[in-house]
């Protein structure tokens, strides 16, 4: 079982990625983004898209290409990506700043079109409606306490698929829930956990 790790700075953090050569990149993301509440249709669309691109890859691969993804996908503004054409999809397949996967590119454009059909704020409301109650939820002490899917992520994935979204299965949906603060999966002794709880209100 793997609990928090203490780096040379003595601060306890969740162990994922922190023992790798990419430690500095992971540390910044872990300390300042992961698990903090994310709201706004475009912001959640970005997280949904990046988590879909991450499927089958390491998160550091996506994290380091995030500026490239933002440039390629018009800052993940739903209205702009929804207007992408087949020519745009072909252009993206030659863009070295992103993961050039035809199915994931097509899914991102498709998902923007679906999201554009929702009322303003509806995507935010939809995703957050699947956040589990925080009261009584077990606090993870080691990474072995975390599961790749939950009933809520399975239900969210099913709802998104029914609406026409693609490449958002239960595992991807749960990764998005973790990243966007719908759940707080920082370990019990992680120094960020309390800040995430406070931000969640």
- pLDDT by residue for the chain (201 residues), tens only, comes to 578 888 777 889 998 866 555 677 888 899 999 999 999 999 999 999 999 999 989 888 999 999 999 999 999 999 999 999 999 999 999 999 999 999 999 999 999 999 999 999 999 999 999 999 988 889 999 999 999 999 999 999 999 999 999 999 999 999 999 999 999 999 999 999 999 999 987
Q: Is 14 annotated as a binding residue?
A: yes
Residue 191 has which token pair?
Answer: 């120094």
Active site residue 174: no
Q: Among all chains, which residue has been given the structure tokens 């370990």? A: 187
Q: Is 180 annotated as a binding residue?
A: no
Q: Is 190 annotated as a binding residue?
A: yes
Q: According to the model, what pLDDT value does residue 19 have? A: 56
Residues 13 and 139: their CA atoms lie apart, in Å, by 15
Q: How many helices (H) and strands (E) does the chain have?
A: 10, 2
Q: According to the model, what pLDDT value does residue 58 have? A: 87
* Residues forming a β-bridge with 12: 6
Q: Among all chains, which residue has been given the structure tokens 């995430």? A: 196
- Which of 26, 34, 46, 59 is catalytic? The answer is 59
Q: According to the model, what pLDDT value does residue 20 have? A: 56
HSE, side-chain direction, 13 A CA sphere, residue 42 = 11
Q: According to the model, what pLDDT value does residue 134 have? A: 85
Active site residue 34: no
Active site residue 26: no
Prediction pTM value = 0.94
- Which of 26, 34, 46, 51 is catalytic? The answer is 51
Contact in structure between 37 and 199 (CB atoms under 8 Å): yes
Q: According to the model, what pLDDT value does residue 18 have? A: 65
């Amino acid at each position: 079982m793997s609990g928090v790790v203490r780096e040379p700075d003595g601060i306890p953090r969740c162990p994922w990625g922190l023992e790798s050569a990419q430690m500095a990149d992971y540390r910044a993301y872990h300390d300042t983004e992961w698990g903090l509440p994310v709201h706004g249709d475009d912001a959640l669309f970005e997280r949904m898209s990046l988590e879909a691109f991450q499927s089958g890859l390491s998160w550091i691969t996506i994290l380091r290409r995030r500026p490239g993804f933002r440039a390629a996908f018009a800052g993940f503004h739903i209205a702009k990506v929804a207007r992408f054409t087949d020519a745009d999809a072909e252009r993206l397949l030659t863009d070295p700043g992103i993961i050039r996967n035809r199915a994931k590119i097509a899914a991102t454009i498709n998902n923007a079109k679906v999201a554009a059909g929702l009322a303003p704020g509806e995507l935010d409301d939809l995703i957050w409606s699947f956040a589990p109650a925080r009261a009584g939820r077990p606090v993870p002490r080691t990474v072995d306490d975390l599961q790749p899917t939950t009933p809520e992520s399975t239900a969210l994935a099913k709802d998104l698929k029914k609406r026409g979204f693609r490449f958002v299965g239960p595992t991807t949906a749960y990764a998005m829930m973790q990243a966007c603060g719908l759940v707080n999966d920082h370990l019990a002794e992680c120094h960020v956990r309390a800040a995430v709880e406070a931000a969640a209100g």
